[in-house]
Chains A and B, each alone.
Chain A
Amino acid sequence: MSQLFSFSRFSRLFRRHTAEFLPSYAMATAVLAGGIGLVLGFVVYMNVLNTTIQGMLFMLGLLAAGALFTAGIFAQYGAPKQATVALTLPASQLEKYLVGWVYSFLIFSVVYTAAFYLVDWLMVSADDWYGRPKELFHLFDAQKIYEIYFYYAALHAGALWGAIFFEKNHFLKTAFGALVLAVVLVAANYQVVKAFAGDKLQMASPFSGITLNDATGFYRVSLPEAQAQWYILLPLVLAALLWRATYLRLTEKQL
């Protein structure tokens, strides 16, 4: 039997994890649905829950709730008593990693999407659209809301890395680290671009075009549309790197 991955071992580990954590996951799902209901209910009370607002709230909720849930998915490796059991259980480190990954990325995405659509449908049904036809937002229409899953992948990978790297307060520490990193990255990127473009540089953020300001006025320099569309792969590349880093961190975990 392979020492890296065995499906029977993985499914056994998955079932064990489910048996141990299902009650708390079920409770978390109820809280998630309740939270979505509160936010959407507030919008319904104040305004019309149109598809644009639905889509925006869906994306914000996915990122926020996903980061929060993922940051705690490896909490058992931070507590020595639980970590002893988790690390010495006869399964490969890849299988242990994948159980956390599947729950926090795949299953969470499906559960969140289903919970949001269910609550959204209930709220839209209860909303008054003043005679106009009611509709739910679409993941795959021209607004390309589905692309949020790519960004969620990057955020998930960062949160997952924090979940294994820190031993407690995973979410706070990861969020703080990400904030510091983002500030440093933006500042460093601006200085580097300024060294090339000179004082006429007005605005430059990482992985996007730049805005210049000279005697002729403001103008923007960016990649042609055909090439700029590849930016969407950036979060996936970042996610792959961080997922790999998280796995390696798990293999190096000591007590």
Chain B
Amino acid sequence: MVRIRNLHFGYSRRVPLFENLSLTLERGHIYGLLGKNGAGKSTLLKNIVGLAFPQAGTCEVNGHPAAARLPVVLEDLFFLPEELHAPALTADQFVAHTAGFYPKFSEVQFHRYLAELEVPRQTKLPKLSFGQQKKFMIAFALAANTGLLVLDEPTNGLDIPSKVQFRKTLAGALSEDRCMIISTHQVRDLDSLIDTVLVVHNREIVLNADLDQLAERLTFGTAGPADTAGALYAEPSVRGRQVVRPNLGGSYGKVDLELLFNAVAGDNPAVVNYLNATPARHEPAV
């Protein structure tokens, strides 16, 4: 679906944001793209949807260069940016004038999603609150049934019940034909939603791993002050030291995304080195 090879990009030639970045995203997955502020999450998404052009390397969607912004690519792609623009139309007017661009758009699904997310249909979009506008666009994005759905910080501006509903709705919308990428710095919002985690750090993808594989290879837990032997990573918390260890016992636990992210995006490369020692899905630079 998305194939990035040796991507170099930076808003200034002297300060590269990505160097030699390679990544493949497949249908049938929900990817969580994590990174610190300024790591380049949104910029990577812009390269994928053709809003930013690689300085070197390639970024292809369905075999076409994303930067060409061909209709055949765009009609199978929906990008929901962090900052939304809501035209001065009602929900029904917006659908009447926009749905036709997406061949697989389903009005039935759209109305169902709107109902699930509790968004009114008759109000002009700019009159809705930011959270309501966001939920409206999420409903439209899902109903467009595009093969590639790219969501940049989709939970920003949503209240807690809406975040829960968002996770349910999104999980229900995944199919074998669909690839979803969700970028966020609010790691907990992706809990129980994504199946693959991508971490962008230091100008490259430092982690591209299936959560099931991570659960097989790592354990996450709390340890006493003197019980961090063998830990790949440890950090203090109010409950004691949170640690990441190699999963030597073969037990299958839940991946603590926040702890994993801190372990991978910090200064200590032990977790990344451990995972790369027996590479699974992470693609080194080509």
Give A contacts to B, CB under 8 Å. Answer: 1, 3, 6, 9, 12, 15-16, 19-20, 23, 79-82, 84-85, 87-93, 251-252, 254-255
**Residue tally, chain B, CB below 8 Å to A:** 29
Residue of B nearest to A5 (CB): B71
Closest 4 CB pairs of A and B: A90-B75, A90-B74, A81-B85, A16-B97
List B residues 53-112 near A (Cβ within 8 Å).
53, 69-72, 74-75, 77-79, 81, 83-85, 87-89, 93, 96-98, 100-102
Complex Cα spacing A90 to B64, Å: 14
Residue of A nearest to B77 (CB): A88
Give B11 Cβ to nearest chain A Cβ, in Å.
10
- Are A87's CB and B101's CB within 8 A? no
- Are B71's CB and A87's CB within 8 A? no
Residue of A nearest to B102 (CB): A90
Complex Cα spacing A20 to B97, Å: 9
Which of these, B49, B71, B77, contacts A92 with CB under 8 Å? B71
Which of these, B75, B89, B100, B101, contacts A20 with CB under 8 Å? B89
- 17 A-B Cβ contacts within 8 A? A3-B70, A6-B71, A9-B101, A16-B98, A19-B93, A19-B96, A20-B87, A20-B89, A23-B88, A84-B85, A85-B87, A87-B50, A88-B49, A89-B101, A90-B74, A91-B71, A91-B101
Which of these, A79, A81, A88, contacts B74 with CB under 8 Å? A88
Give A99 Cβ to nearest chain B Cβ, in Å.
13
Give A217 Cβ to nearest chain B Cβ, in Å.
60
Give B196 Cβ to nearest chain A Cβ, in Å.
23
Tell me which residues across on chain B come within 8 A of A91, comparing CB atoms.
71, 74, 101
- Are B88's CB and A20's CB within 8 A? yes
Complex Cα spacing A91 to B101, Å: 8
- Dominant SS among interface residues on chain A: helix
Give B108 Cβ to nearest chain A Cβ, in Å.
21
B171 within 8 A of A: no
- Are A9's CB and B71's CB within 8 A? yes
Give A10 Cβ to nearest chain B Cβ, in Å.
11
Given contacts A12-B101, A89-B101, A254-B51, 8 further A-B contacts (CB under 8 A): A1-B72, A3-B72, A9-B101, A12-B97, A19-B93, A81-B85, A87-B50, A88-B74
Complex Cα spacing A181 to B243, Å: 65
- Are B74's CB and A15's CB within 8 A? no
- Are B52's CB and A254's CB within 8 A? yes
Tell me which residues across on chain B come within 8 A of A255, comparing CB atoms.
46, 51-52
Tell me which residues across on chain B come within 8 A of A90, comparing CB atoms.
71, 74-75, 101-102
Complex Cα spacing A81 to B53, Å: 18
Give B274 Cβ to nearest chain A Cβ, in Å.
37
Complex Cα spacing A27 to B271, Å: 61
- Are A19's CB and B89's CB within 8 A? yes
Complex Cα spacing A152 to B173, Å: 52
**Binary A-proximity of B18-59 (CB < 8 A = 1, otherwise 0):** 000000000000000000000000000010011111000000
- Are B71's CB and A3's CB within 8 A? yes
Complex Cα spacing A90 to B83, Å: 20
